[in-house]
Structure 1
Amino acid sequence: MTSYAARMLSDLGVGGISQCIDVPEQGEHEQLRWARSGGMALSGKAGKLPLLAPAPLAGAAAAALVALRALAGNRWTGGELDGAALLGERAAIFDYARSGDVAPGQSCRLIETKDEWLAVNLARESDRNLLPAWLETEAAHPESGAWEVVQRVFAERGSDDLLSRARLMGMPVAPVRRFSPGAPDCPPWFEAHAIQKQTQPAPGARPVVLDLSTLWAGPLCGHLLGLAGARVIKLESLSRPDGARHGPAAFFDLLNAGKESVAVDFTSKAGRHSFEALLEHVDIVIESARPRALRQLGIVAEDWIARHPGRTWLSITGYGRSEPEANWVAFGDDASASAGLCWAAADLNRGDDGPPSPLFCGDAISDPLTGLHSAVAALASWQSGRSQLIDVSLCAVVRFILDQAAELEGQAVDVSVEQDAQERERVRVGDASEVVAPPRARAVVARASSLGADTQSTMASFGVSA
């Protein structure tokens, strides 16, 4: 990935540093980098050799971090953080493993209907409770072997009705699409909606970031911006905090340590006032909800950037902010499938055991990839001084990386996956080889603040009463 970081910065309108950034191991074959990242170990069927990457997934992750470090300059405090290793960090903490057409996290499955495959994600209890209404059968009760019922219903029905009903109900269900690299309609990895107001940051200034996001992509973006020198404030609802707080503490700590924790009651007038007051004092907003969620609170991103020169609103969605996609719910696994990754991985690694079927490639890989790309976009936007709404979707980021598959073809040599004499899975690229590494996580060196622990002090720092 000798040019990916430079292209990212060029796409964002960043000049000067784009031509002189240094990409680690820039001459290394992508499949060796993929083997070492931890993502490869999470790709393919259990008990079978793992899948080669159909696109430079690890390279794009590594290059995005290089671009971020170039923007941060001497404010970077993340040391030699490995961007590619972030792809497997959640799986390392949760002890996930590859499982073919079942995602490593077990909540998402690829299931064939009469005419098409769909990715169905039942990570939320609310979605599991909707199964009887969605499938129009009481047999699909979440406590009674729901997946078997889903498969049986799917075998008898077409995808269009199932997909439209799921979207209407706000369920994370997506078509498992194919993607052709080089297609003229491949979207950019982000969209920028700029207001013609510009205010350059003062020399040496550090941005203040308000992180409204939850789970993985958005919190990772906020975490990386913190490593790049930003002050990051994590704002949560008192009644519905970030769901990642209920999982392993190590994962939440890695993404949220160092952020100031503010919690308010969004249903109260006082809570909404505190939220609106914070918005007046921050430079970058990160949010990962569907646009209508904040509009229901009277917060319109487009209006905010129009009123505040030099500020950036970063919107992370499943499929973008345009209608009707803005209303579609997505998580990392199903968004990756919709982008074309599952079919691309299966097609590249096609064996002799019959027709291919789509397979998961990595653990919700669009989440960490989007978090990395979003951090670069947010910091570049703020440094530019432009007032911008930056729209980054999980699906668009993966499609953009899939469109770089031609770079792998340019590295064409004999590539194989095998089990070596020590029974280790190994990738061979010509005369070079790399053992397929398990996913790994960084050590937790600091704990995240408890919910709302910094509300009083953070609000007081802006002269606002909590």
Structure 2
Amino acid sequence: MRVAVTGEGPALRHAAGLLAAAGAAVLSTPDEDVDGVLDATGTGHAGPLVRTGDTTAAADWAASGALALTGRRDGPPLAAPGIPASAARGALLATELLARIAGSRVTLPGAGVLSERAALAGLYRDAPRSAGGALRLLRAADGWLGVNVARASDAELLPAWLEAPVPLGDPWPVLAELVAGRAAAPLAERARLLGLPVGAHPARADEQLAARGQTASVSPLVLNGEVRRAEPGERAGSRRRAWTLEPTLVVDLSSLWAGPLCGHLLTLLGARVIKVESTHRPDGARFGSAAFYDLLHGGQESVALDFGTAEGRAALAGLVEAADIVIEGSRPRALRQLGVVAEDVLAHARAKCWVSITAYGRTGPWDNAVGFGDDAAIAGGLVAFDEGTPAPCGDAIADPLTGVHAAFAAVACRLGGGTWLADLALREQAAATVCAVPAEAAAAVTAEPRRPWRPAPALGAHTAAVLGELGLA
């Protein structure tokens, strides 16, 4: 594929980098043989085209709504230490361009996806707490720790983590006292061993990044075990081909935000998305903001299975086998317990993309570490500061960053053909956006969220029909 990306802003540079990392030849100006153009300068190209503006990192951050979510409740909104909103916008633009080249006329949402959950659920900035309230940044001896008590089981692990009594009702004063005299990295390591979601800041090169080839710089794309980065200059291409996005069946095994956002974007692009949940442990997001859940899952089908039975596991295996794209957000060990191994599935597939979303990546010594959007972003370096007070950036920002990059990877792999394992780590998505940007002022806005276009299906509403259609009943 040969594409042109005109403009110099960070979103467009990020889009160009993603397209190049996926194997496209990326030009700065279109020629007669280009397949499509991401156009911020008005080229007048007659073929597939996505028109956009050439914006700054500060403007993207403000327009996304994430600026308004960053900082103390009674303090000013804060800029991010990098280009997270521009990266989200760039990934969406790159995905939309691929869809246009393949014949779709769908317009994808913009960087406002970063703040839609907060807008629909009524969340606000509250540093050093996260917008969702489950995480707080605590000062350690040599940095900060983002401690995420998102589940009752996390609170129960706190005494074992710090080897001291911790009250369950309001643990934060005691936690602050116990953490203050200790180094951040060993505390984060102990938390990983216990399965407690904790991110250390400042982020440093570590054994996990080294094992994944992400030490020199961090890329959001790891495809078939290889880090994909943009290469300078145009690659030599084969003869021009017609690009089509074949009818696509997506089986979404993920939950919460990152994977469902990927599935939602694929739904907008015309894919048939089947959300698969456990009858005993459905997606926890069902019990949060109903409007946000409807937004991400409207227009999809719902299958509920009892994974504790042989029949349920057999149906799961059959759905995975039938899918063109699989989205999952489980640690490899958890899926192996269900008899589903990505590498085994892909080994005998003719064409399939497996999108794996984990906190720190499915390879390396931290492959089974627990993490969520807020603590993973802190571990990736996304922390803002207001007179010494640290602030999580946006709302669980690593989740939507991962979701938009996962959708790009899925579309690129589907267009390219063959079998692909797209390995996306929440921490690496955040770390890939951290860079020095010029200090610019921008007015914070509360981005207007999109509204659900139809309700999400009830749990298991399509189980019998889908399993019957695929011969799995």
Could you say which TM-score interval applies, normalised by the shorter chain?
0.7 to 0.9
* DSSP-derived class of the 1:142 partner: coil
* DSSP-derived class of the 1:175 partner: strand
Residue 13 of structure 1: aligned partner? 23
* DSSP-derived class of the 1:327 partner: coil
Residue 31 of structure 2: aligned partner? none
TM-score, normalised on structure 2?
0.84
Residue 155 of structure 1: aligned partner? 180
The amino acid that maps onto 1:104 is A
List aligned pairs for 1:70-149, cutoff 5 A. Answer: 70-73=97-100, 76=104, 78-79=106-107, 81-138=108-165, 140-143=166-169, 145-149=170-174
Following superposition, the deviation at residue 383 of structure 1 comes to 1.4
Q: Which segments of structure 1 move beyond 4 Å, counting only runs of 4 or more? A: 15-19, 74-78, 200-204
Per-residue CA deviations over 1:196-237 (Å, capped at 9, x if unaligned) read xxxx99956211111000000000000101111211110000
Per-residue CA deviations over 1:426-459 (Å, capped at 9, x if unaligned) read x2xxxxxxx4211432112200111100001111
Q: Aligned in 2, Cα 1:155/1:4: closer, same or farther, shift over 3 Å?
A: closer
List aligned pairs for 1:24-39, cutoff 5 A. Answer: 25-39=52-66
Q: Work out the number of aligned pairs and report it.
A: 423
Following superposition, the deviation at residue 64 of structure 1 comes to 1.2
Q: Aligned in 2, Cα 1:268/1:29: closer, same or farther, shift over 3 Å?
A: same
The amino acid that maps onto 2:310 is K
The amino acid that maps onto 1:286 is I
The answer to whether the Cα contact below 8 Å between 1:5 and 1:18 also exists between their aligned partners in 2 is no
Per-residue CA deviations over 1:4-24 (Å, capped at 9, x if unaligned) read 212211111235868612355
- Separation in structure 2 between the aligned mates of residue 233 and residue 76 of structure 1, nearest angstrom: 21
Following superposition, the deviation at residue 341 of structure 1 comes to 1.1
The answer to whether the Cα contact below 8 Å between 2:264 and 2:297 also exists between their aligned partners in 1 is yes
Q: Aligned in 2, Cα 1:336/1:209: closer, same or farther, shift over 3 Å?
A: same
The answer to whether the Cα contact below 8 Å between 1:77 and 1:229 also exists between their aligned partners in 2 is no
Root-mean-square deviation (CA), in Å?
Answer: 2.4
* DSSP-derived class of the 2:38 partner: coil
2:248 to 207, 215, 219: 207
Residue 223 of structure 2: aligned partner? 192
The amino acid that maps onto 1:168 is L
List aligned pairs for 1:229-248, cutoff 5 A. Answer: 229-248=270-289
Per-residue CA deviations over 1:266-287 (Å, capped at 9, x if unaligned) read 1100000101111221111101
The answer to whether the Cα contact below 8 Å between 1:129 and 1:141 also exists between their aligned partners in 2 is no
Q: Greater RCO between the two (CA within 8 Å, min separation 6)?
A: 1
Residue 45 of structure 1: aligned partner? 72
1:326 aligns with 2:381: no
2:446 to 438, 442, 447: 438
1:175 aligns with 2:200: yes
1:4 aligns with 2:14: yes
Residue 250 of structure 1: aligned partner? 291
- Separation in structure 1 between the aligned mates of residue 352 and residue 377 of structure 2, nearest angstrom: 30
Structure 1: unaligned runs, 5 residues or longer: 417-426, 428-434
The amino acid that maps onto 2:425 is S
* DSSP-derived class of the 2:12 partner: coil
Q: Aligned in 2, Cα 1:149/1:384: closer, same or farther, shift over 3 Å?
A: same
The amino acid that maps onto 2:223 is A
Residue 459 of structure 2: aligned partner? 451
- Separation in structure 2 between the aligned mates of residue 190 and residue 298 of structure 1, nearest angstrom: 26
1:368 aligns with 2:400: yes
Following superposition, the deviation at residue 296 of structure 1 comes to 1.3
- Larger mean CA deviation between 67-76 and 221-230 belongs to 67-76
TM-score, normalised on structure 1?
0.85
- Separation in structure 1 between the aligned mates of residue 182 and residue 451 of structure 2, nearest angstrom: 47
- Separation in structure 1 between the aligned mates of residue 36 and residue 268 of structure 2, nearest angstrom: 23
Q: Aligned in 2, Cα 1:47/1:158: closer, same or farther, shift over 3 Å?
A: same
Following superposition, the deviation at residue 324 of structure 1 comes to 1.4
Following superposition, the deviation at residue 88 of structure 1 comes to 0.5
- Separation in structure 1 between the aligned mates of residue 471 and residue 243 of structure 2, nearest angstrom: 21
Following superposition, the deviation at residue 28 of structure 1 comes to 2.4
The answer to whether the Cα contact below 8 Å between 2:380 and 2:431 also exists between their aligned partners in 1 is yes
Q: Aligned in 2, Cα 1:204/1:134: closer, same or farther, shift over 3 Å?
A: closer
Q: Aligned in 2, Cα 1:304/1:26: closer, same or farther, shift over 3 Å?
A: same
Following superposition, the deviation at residue 121 of structure 1 comes to 0.3
Residue 297 of structure 1: aligned partner? 338
Residue 412 of structure 2: aligned partner? 380
Q: Aligned in 2, Cα 1:18/1:85: closer, same or farther, shift over 3 Å?
A: farther
Structure 2: unaligned runs, 5 residues or longer: 1-10, 27-33, 41-50, 206-213, 227-240
The amino acid that maps onto 1:367 is D
The answer to whether the Cα contact below 8 Å between 1:76 and 1:227 also exists between their aligned partners in 2 is no
